[in-house]
Amino acid sequence: MSGDKSMSAEEVVGRLESGMTIGIGGWGSRRKPMALVRALLRSDVTDLTLVSYGGPDVGLLAAAGKIRRLVTAFATLDSVPLEPHFTAARQRGAFEMTELDEAMVMWGLTAAAQRLPFIPVRAGLGSDVLRVNPSLRTVTSPYEDGEELLAVPALRLDAALVHLNRADVRGNGQYLGSDPYFDDLFCQAADAAYLSCEHIVDTGDLLKDAGPQTLLVNRAFVTGVVATPNGAHFTACAPDYERDENIQRAYARAARDPEAWRTFTARFLSGDEAAYQSAVAAFHEEEPA
Amino acid sequence: MSTVTATRAEYCVVACAEVWRGAGEILASPMGTVPTIGARLARLTFAPELLLTDGEALLVGDVPAVGERARVVEGWLPYRQHLALVATGRRHVMMGAGQLDRHGNQNISCIGDWARPARQLLGVRGAPINTLNNPTSYWVPKHSRRVFVERVDMVSGVGYDRAAEAGPSATRYHRIADVVTNLGVFDFDTPDHTMRLRSLHPGGTVDQVREATGFSLAVPAAVPYTRVPTVEELRLIRDVIDPKKLREREVPA
């Protein structure tokens, strides 16, 4: 049919270039487009500026040396508070960082989506976010109050990667969990947005078991759609699956030791996505939950 | 008549609950196990109008035990709405602290030089916007000189001195309320808004607190003890909110 935007994860990565600014949806270790991140790991695309509410997406790309600059308010695995690859990379000075408040990231993406240069917020003032980001500026209200607020600059993206529960081939994306996170905003802030999903369904079936407010992302903001079953693994993708805490624990343990990380990489990340999913299945056969 | 003796963790729970007394119909945002139990205790007793989340996107209509799922949902608060709610002021957050100084500046970002930290922690998260927009308290389960320092390495949550330097937009809605630790309760009700010992948990001494604090602390001539949990509060903590004693993991007896 016309308007079919379906493509493979490799095709998505083929459209990314070294040096780009890429936004990654989800939050912490929740609904991260991990299959797309894994495809990115297999490519030679590097030198990225990454905008993310950081989870293992940040950790894996940091471990692979693909990040030039990270724009974030945190990186965490949620049930494991500190993202071990992120902390290690920061401690060895592996990349530059633009450290912002959580709400500043949201308003920066909103400004980018709305094609505004900045949005004024009452945040950052008095904190060291201003010290470590000397390019941040304040703005004075032109009204009677005369308040001086922080002007959060637009966080415009070359590309966005997000993962939703369902989508059609035209790029209409649906979330079925309780939190949309900021995935629509990431898509709107980007010149090109790539949406992976658990299943591609017929447009007419999107609302078979869900209300219209679940249609988070519309096709005007989507360049490519990829079906990646279990594609957020090992992060949570409610209601399709919970976070895989066993694999996440194994990941976190391995990330703290170079030798263990080589073993983990050889076992899980040396092949394609199908090989990854097989390795995960084999892991669960050996170590039942 | 039988008497019930509260554990140190239970004193901490009640001290945390007190943070939300009289707060009104606002969101209680506790971070950490003891503050979570405290917020639920407040809602079940003296602050029934508080809003609580399930730790994710739902506002809960009942008060489940920690770690249990709510049976009643009364509202929806995904991250985008939660971040926007902060600026409405209808929230009192209780955050943790990697470092905290006498002015209430908090650090959860990193230890050492920011450019290349000795120890990377979480990042500033929502601390900069929280502290400028809604009342903020802190929970420190292990009171030590590592946490209570002369100067924090990366100001994430803004204290009184830094807010004042930043000007009226920073101070307009800024309020650091309480600091609850395993040793006592602290506030900033001093003429220069520096940290003061408000009450000691029973079993502790002023010297012990001074010894564990890396800056000079305001200590009134007479320091009261932290309020004793009531029999009903202890029943709620032990039987309803935390039957698995998760509080003891954060504050061992």
ipTM, two decimals:
0.96
Name the helix (H) or strand (E) containing A118: strand A118-121
Q: How far is A201 from chain B (nearest CA, A)?
A: 26
* Shortest alpha-carbon distance between residue A150 and chain B (Å): 10
Could you give the domains of chain A? 9-102+155-227 (3.40.1080.10), 119-153 (no CATH), 246-286 (no CATH)
Backbone angles phi, psi at B172, to 5 degrees: -50, -45
CB-based contact, B214 to chain A, within 8 Å = no
Measured between CA atoms, how close is A145 to chain B, in angstroms?
Answer: 10
CATH top class, domain B8-243: alpha beta
Residue numbers of A between 227 and 266 with CB closer than 8 Å to B: none
Residue of chain A whose alpha carbon sits nearest to that of B111: A91
Q: Do residues A26 and A235 make contact, with C-beta atoms less than 8 angstroms apart?
A: yes
pLDDT at residue B1, as a whole number: 41
| Contact between A27 and B79 (Cβ < 8 Å) | yes
Structure tokens at A38: 């894994």
Interface contact B127-A101, CB threshold 8 A: yes
CA-to-CA dists, residue B193 to B10, B18, B105, angstroms:
28, 20, 11
Sign (positive or negative) of CA dihedral B59, B63, B64, B66: positive
Position A287 scores a pLDDT of: 77
Nearest to B177 by CA among B138, B140, B151: B138
For residue A131, list chain B residues with Cβ-Cβ distance below 8 A: 114, 155
For A145-159, b where at least 16 C-beta lie within 10 A, e where not — what string? eebbbbbbbbbbbbb
Kindly list the residues from chain A whose CB atom is less than 8 angstroms away from the CB atom of residue B116: 90-93
- The B residues from 1 to 60 touching A (CB cutoff 8 Å) are 56-58
The reported pTM is 0.97
Max CA pair span of chain A = 68
- Contact of A108 with chain B, judged by CB distance below 8 Å, is answered with no
Q: Domain ranges in chain B?
A: 8-243
Determine the pLDDT at residue B212: 98
How many beta carbons lie within 10 A of that of residue B76, not counting itself?
12
Rounded CA gap, A12 and A193, in Å?
9
Query: Across the strands, what pairs with A98?
Result: A71
Contact A149 B169 (CB under 8 A): yes
- Answer yes or no: are the C-beta atoms of A41 and A60 closer than 8 Å: yes
pLDDT at A288: 66
pLDDT string in tens for chain B (253-residue length): 446 699 999 999 999 999 999 999 999 999 999 999 999 999 999 999 999 999 999 999 999 999 999 999 999 999 999 999 999 999 999 999 999 999 999 999 999 999 999 999 999 999 999 999 999 999 999 999 999 999 999 999 999 999 999 999 999 999 999 999 999 999 999 999 999 999 999 999 999 999 999 999 999 999 999 999 999 999 999 999 999 999 999 999 8
Main-chain dihedrals φ then ψ at residue B51, nearest 5 degrees: -100, 140
Joined tokens for residue B241: 């909110």
CA distances from A68 to A21, A128, B177, B217 (A): 10, 22, 39, 43
Q: How confident is chain A (289 residues) per 10-residue block, as mean pLDDT?
A: 90 98 98 98 98 98 98 98 98 98 98 98 98 98 97 98 98 98 98 98 97 98 98 98 98 97 98 98 86
Most B CBs within 10 A among A52, A58, A83, A101, hence the mutation to make, goes to A101
